[in-house]
Chain A
Amino acid sequence: MSDLLLHVDNLTTIFQTSSRTITAVDNVSFKVNTGETFALVGESGSGKSVTALSIIRLLPVAAKVTSGAVNFDGIDLLALPERNMRDIRGSGISMIFQEPMTSLNPVVKVGRQISEVLVRHQKMTKAQARQRALELLDAVKIPKPSYTIDTYAHELSGGMKQRVMIAIALACEPKLLIADEPTTALDVTIQAQVLDLINDLQQQFKMAIVFITHDLAVVKQVADHVAVMKEGEIVEHSSNEVFFSSPQHQYSWDLFAALPAMEKRGRLLLASNQKIHKPATKNVKDNHTLHVNELKVHFPIRKGIFKRTVGYVKAVDGVSLEIPPGKTVALVGESGSGKTTVGKGILRLVQPTSGEVTYLGLPIHNIDYKQLLEQRTNLQIVFQDPYSSMNPRMLVGDIIEEGMKTLNVIPDANARKARVLELLKQVGLDEYAHLYYPHEFSGGQRQRICIARALAVNPKIIICDEPTSALDVSVQAQILDLLNNLQAQYGISYLFITHNMSVVAYFADRVAVMYQGKIVEQGEVEQVLNHPNHEYTKKLLSAVPKLVPPTRVAL
């Protein structure tokens, strides 16, 4: 059982650009035995994917392995000619990637994509390959394989596509499967199914798996051994039990500390001795609560030459919730549940089809343009992707100033400039940042700038549309701490749209669970997460991988 299958020895991979050389993988060594799962954990840019690509020799042109050896089943992979390497790929080592949407060829039927591999590597005839493809689709638990085999990729859901990808990877019964963030792009319920599937198949095929991920909860569930990567180096390497009970390296501790969880409520993540002071809300009048009543947003489907409306996509179908002042309301749901559209509908970035949004006694859904402009200072939004939410052609200072200028919050230009500097400081950035362009900042810094931009007009409510889901967990912790501090300081309410249950558990006061355009359950966070009523909420919560961060024993 414990035969050595893969031995990576002192692997170093560099990226060479005309101006500089970056060491992406720095002296990495590890061993993987037959039948076990080895997890490579790290934040983005830590070199975990490059390690995998170095093993399978699919590095981009600019990258080069400068030293080290990769021994797979007694073969030195780095010395192998490309011809023989091609035989290894697929039949010896297979790889599945993060994005199932782009990994399949959209114009070839999925059955042919599977049988292609079989014909190439196992010299099967077409009929044999088709038979085997059917068996494989059955093995990855696709319902009705005989139907699916003749479909195209776009007819399948994300989870189904990832199953097909796994079927292709398993076609030649590889000894080693490299899974590069295979569930990151999937919803949590689908993720649970795919992880189970990978586990089952590992038993069945006796494969070794190199599992690359940034999600510690997933690691705990799947891995036998864990290696933590940071800046190209493996900083900690231990077995699952040891790692999740008493990690050795400070960086591992930092990672655990940054994880949001129910137990950490009321304290900052990165300075856990600091309590969060919730703003006093007792004296605030009731009309400071934002009420959403039966909000519906339907998108018409138009067809034909005259663009007749033939039907509606009911993105939001009767949502009611309220956002009390100084509180955080989380809106949770899987992709396509319509949660982002709720946020945009409240702000009238998308015109609601029907329903009411009232704030300060004003019907936001129905007021005229001028009144809406006034309300834009009260209601603001922070977007998910910090890369696309700022105009790349504008200076950070101008970006932050834009709202103040348009809404005439501060009419005086000099005062406005001073406010920009103040805001930058408030979100923890250097004052000089206003002279730079957005692309000169990291993802977390950009999200801070976006928060500063929203803050600039002194809003009472900020709609946060997955503001941390594009960020690494340590950066997420920084942003959550920042949002907590701002709430304590200014009494801002948040509508926090997310799919991440542990963020909800840590951050929100109330939670509303959304499913197919409707809210199926809402209430206080403790209530909903600990005692869910609705079937969907139960299903959602049971799918979330559980992880209780280790507590440090005082030395």
Chain B
Amino acid sequence: MNPTYLRFELLRVVRARRFFIFSIAFPLILYYMIAGPNRSENDFGGSGISAPLYLMAGLTAFGTMNTVLSTGARIASERAVGWNRQLRLTPLSTKQYFRTKVLTAYLMAAITIVLLYGAGMSLGVRLSADNWARMTVLILIGLIPFAGLGIFMGHMLSTDSIGPAMGGTTAFLSLLGGVWFPITSSSALHDLAEALPSYWLVQASHVALGGRGWDGTGWLVVAAWAVAMALLAARAYQRDTARP
């Protein structure tokens, strides 16, 4: 890890003010818009769980997924000005580059988590320390495949195409992951959903709802996606040396 490089990467994220505020504030605003009017609903959608808690869990998954994937949009804009080629002429290794990008994405995700937990508490969510901790750890692990996916997309797509591609990807993954409504085991989509990393990210956040966390399948799917995305991202980075 190169601390100076990391420091300036973080500084750049915070200084891109509109981007930073939007990606941090978006899930928060969405949360207050949906959960706020339903704050006293104690059986949200027949789940037997209060609306503020159910939506806090779902939006934490959705929000962190978005912030981590948004690394791709920042990479695409760096590539648009040829910066990846300049960086390729330095001794910065692929590993160091990845670590810095992933760590930056995680720090953004951590801000999202803290803000949404705070928002949940402001609407009356109360959990045991054990539940907060288990949920957070599983979410952070569940985000690994998305960090890889973000970097992969950032190196494959242009600034023009990455917006719609990211929007489509997050809509698809969050819908089938059960962010907006529960994917029940009787549902036809269940088998497909179980193969997606977003499903397990949502399951991680549902630890707070008394969920069971991940079974063997969960760990396997997350690990498989993490490895596959890391390989694709590394390959995309190494090949991405052409002139813009």
Say whether A and B bind each other: no
Interface residues of B (CB under 8 A from A): none
Interface residues of A (CB under 8 A from B): none
